[in-house]
């Protein structure tokens, strides 16, 4: 999955989204901070490939993108939106794919982000190595595919919404990282920026770490968890806790604006680290929490209706969902993990 899958909706209920072998499922709190409902299928009764991208705009509506098999070895990208957690998401709508873009098998990882006007933008690697983007139109429907250039993209991109409502996207190449920026909502994307770096595929995570900038977190081939903000060089923050991507969120800890990271560690437990946002030079350290998780478990972070940090771990193979909330005390003190 691309993007955080634990999401607080516009009515302050938390929801999780995940993929089963042929569908996307959603579970939602029945009331903020309360019991959770049973899993529901997203987008109607359609077979999908087990890939999913998630994005959320300032309106806190959730947008989803996946791939649907079309026969004869072809696949097309589909989009759905979930406006309120207790309502059913919209049916999947076919939005095609760019010419020369995406794997015909439907396994190409895509990214999705939502601008300040609530319009979803879908980003797809092109077969020849660049990046394509298609956005919803202001009057409904979808605009044309745009070639954002770039080269030799490996793995899936990640995307996010900046403080001014413009989109940003990142991708890894062979020995490089690439960044695309839209100065404001509805404005043409600027030229791609790149920097030398060796990122492990599948480890990218982007986060808006201030009103002006975003940060890309990734694990490099030496095993370090690194941070890159365009305009600077990548910074090795600390050794990665494990091999997969990190979850990342901004929250206030003891009065400070902090970036909190979580990752399934090599021991199988969830590891947490926190530091003042965009002050990587102050350092960070991992603290492990909870039980050992199945090998396919992933971690996601969000803030609940009270602004309290919530961590979730999910194992698709077992369906095991565990939640932990930050305790009301100094520092990054997480409570016991509870099965949902």
**Which residue matches tokens 């396994």?**
107
How far is Cα 110 from Cα 67, in angstroms, rounded to an integer?
9
Please state which CATH class domain 6-246 belongs to. mainly beta
Residue 240 has a pLDDT of 98
Q: Give the pLDDT confidence score for residue 30 in this predicted structure.
A: 94
Given this model, what pLDDT does residue 74 score?
Answer: 82
Give the N- to C-terminal CA distance of the chain in Å, as an integer.
Answer: 21
What is the model's pLDDT at position 97? Answer: 87
d(CA 46, CA 69): 10
Note the pLDDT of residue 153: 92
**Which pLDDT belongs to residue 105?**
56
pLDDT in tens, the chain (340 residues): 889 999 999 999 999 999 988 789 999 999 999 999 999 999 888 889 888 999 998 899 999 999 998 877 788 999 999 999 889 999 999 999 887 554 555 568 899 999 988 999 999 998 878 999 999 998 889 999 999 999 899 889 999 998 777 899 999 999 999 999 998 777 889 899 999 999 999 999 999 999 889 999 999 999 999 999 999 999 999 999 998 889 999 999 999 999 999 999 999 999 999 999 999 999 999 999 999 999 889 999 999 999 999 999 999 887 789 999 999 999 999 999 999 9
For position 106, what pLDDT does the model report? Answer: 59
Q: Which two tokens stand for residue 289?
A: 């929490």
Backbone φ, ψ for residue 280 (5° rounding): -60, -25
Q: Report the Cα 210 to chain-centroid distance in Å.
A: 17
Nearest to 286 by CA among 329, 334, 336: 334
- pLDDT at 14 (0 to 100): 97
């Amino acid at each position: 999955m691309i993007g955080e899958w634990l999401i607080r909706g516009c009515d302050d209920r938390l929801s999780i989204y995940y993929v089963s072998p042929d569908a996307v499922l959603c579970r939602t709190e029945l009331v903020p901070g309360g019991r959770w409902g049973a899993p529901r299928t997203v987008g109607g009764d359609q077979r999908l490939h087990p890939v999913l991208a998630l994005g959320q705009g300032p309106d806190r509506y959730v947008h989803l993108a996946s791939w649907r098999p079309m026969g004869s070895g072809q696949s097309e990208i589909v989009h759905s939106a979930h406006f309120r957690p207790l309502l059913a998401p919209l049916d999947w709508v076919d939005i095609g794919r760019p010419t020369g873009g995406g794997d015909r098998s439907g396994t190409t990882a895509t990214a999705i982000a939502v601008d300040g006007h609530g319009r979803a933008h879908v980003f797809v690697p092109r077969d020849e190595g660049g990046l394509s983007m298609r956005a919803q139109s202001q009057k409904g429907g979808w605009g044309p595919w745009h070639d954002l250039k770039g080269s030799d993209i490996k793995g899936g991109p990640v995307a996010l919404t900046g403080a001014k409502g413009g989109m940003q996207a990142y991708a890894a190449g062979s020995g490089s990282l690439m960044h695309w920026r839209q100065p404001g909502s509805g404005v043409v994307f600027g030229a791609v920026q790149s920097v030398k770096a060796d990122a492990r595929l599948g480890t990218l995570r982007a986060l808006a770490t201030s009103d002006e900038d975003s940060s890309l977190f990734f694990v490099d081939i030496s095993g370090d968890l690194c941070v890159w903000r365009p305009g600077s060089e990548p910074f090795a923050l600390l050794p990665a806790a494990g091999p997969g991507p990190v979850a990342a969120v901004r929250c206030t800890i003891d009065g400070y604006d902090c970036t909190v990271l979580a990752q399934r560690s090599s021991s199988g437990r969830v590891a947490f680290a926190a530091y003042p946002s965009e002050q990587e030079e102050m350092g960070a350290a991992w603290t492990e929490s909870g039980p050992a998780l199945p090998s396919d478990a992933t971690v996601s972070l969000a803030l609940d209706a009270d602004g309290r940090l919530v961590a979730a771990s999910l194992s698709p193979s077992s369906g095991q969902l565990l939640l932990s909330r930050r305790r009301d005390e100094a520092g990054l003190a997480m409570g016991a993990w509870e099965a949902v």
